[in-house]
Amino acid sequence: MGKEYPKWLIGCGVGCLAVLVLAFIVGLGGFLTVRKVAGGFKEAQQAVSKVEGEFGVPEAYTPEPDGRIPADRIEAFLAVRNATSSVRGRLGARIEELEAITGDRDSSNKSGLQKFLTVMRTGAGAIPRIAEFERNRADALLTNRMGLGEYWYIYTVAYYSSLKKDPGDGPRRVHTQDGGEVRMDDHTDPADVRESRREQIGRQVNRLFRRVLLNAVNETKPAEKSPEKSPWVQAAQKEEAALEAKHDRIPWEDGLPPEIEESIRPFKDELSSSYDPVMNPLEFMEFRDHRRGW
């Protein structure tokens, strides 16, 4: 049977992937209190707050009036991806090492204590990397004059909608459930883990895009709010309705509007090479002040 972890872990301000790392450790009998590991996360939260102070909360992002993504904004997105590539690589290696250790059924080479200590050491090394990533990304967003809402918007339409990357990408043994439980075991089918993550991230980006697309429609000038709405506004309204009808729908999963597809096309190779499947869930952590809600 898998082990389940209580809801308070989710809301502690450490962030989604930090909880997943803690789940690995707790799953082998160890315990790290949030208070001891959260120091770096306070700094990460402050960094994200600075980005939000500059550009607004993610839900406030509004696409361009014609629906296109200017080339310089995609270049800025790629610059942020490049700035985080090293820390993502280091953290990804730690997570894969944790999965290899916890999935090792051969107890003949290592005692339970040795295995426990290895997991503790590896997990302790992974947790600060999560905060490092968030701080690093926040700094890169500020440098490139990009808010988190715009970053997530481009991430979603580029990777999920255009390149058809799987929102379920990520570590193999972490299973997240509605209601805030996290379960990790080596009996769960990795396909089930992937499906659960796909649904969870789908709901998160769905919620974001419902707000963003409403922003796009509401920004339309009064003269344009006539039966002769632009193709972009019509597409935004139609997609917003589809997202509202199915809350785990990936935005534009039936095909991007030409305005967005034409914007992305010249950058497809660079965008594809910048995608990081193992660290995909890390991109959707929210280090926001939990007094404002997660």
The verdict on residue 220 lying in a domain is no
Task: Report pLDDT for 27.
Answer: 41
Specify if 14 maps to a domain: yes
Whole-number Cα distances in Å, 182 to 2, 33, 199, 278: 10, 16, 14, 18
Given a contact cutoff of 8 angstroms between Cβ atoms, the answer to whether 62 and 97 are in contact is no
Residue 269: inside a domain: yes
Residue 231 domain-assigned? no
For tokens 């990357």, the residue is 165
Residue 9 binned pLDDT confidence (cut-offs 50, 70, 90): very low
- The region of weakest confidence among 50-64, 110-124, 230-244 is 110-124
The DSSP result for 131-169, as a single string, is HHHHHHHHHHHHHTT--HHHHHHHHIIIIIIIS---TT-
* pLDDT tens digit sequence for 194-205: 888 888 899 999
pLDDT of residue 66: 95
- Give the mean pLDDT of the chain: 77
> What integer is the mean pLDDT of 259-264?
97
Cα angle 202, 16, 102; round to 5 = 105
Task: Please indicate, yes or no, whether the overall pTM of this predicted structure exceeds 0.85.
Answer: no
For residue 293, is it within any domain? no
Domain total of the chain: 1
**Residue the block writes with tokens 């950058």:** 267
234 domain residue, yes or no: no
Which pLDDT tens digit goes with each residue over 242-259?
999 999 899 999 999 999
Over the stretch 120-171, which tens digit does the pLDDT of each residue have? 555 555 567 778 888 999 999 999 999 999 999 999 999 999 999 999 998 8
Instruction: Give pLDDT, residue 94.
Output: 75
Residue 71 lies in a domain: yes
Range of the domain at 189: 3-201+258-281
**Beta-sheet strands, E only, within the chain:** 3-5, 174-176, 182-184
- Considering the domain boundaries, does residue 229 fall inside one? no
Give CA–CA dist 197/175, Å, rounded: 7
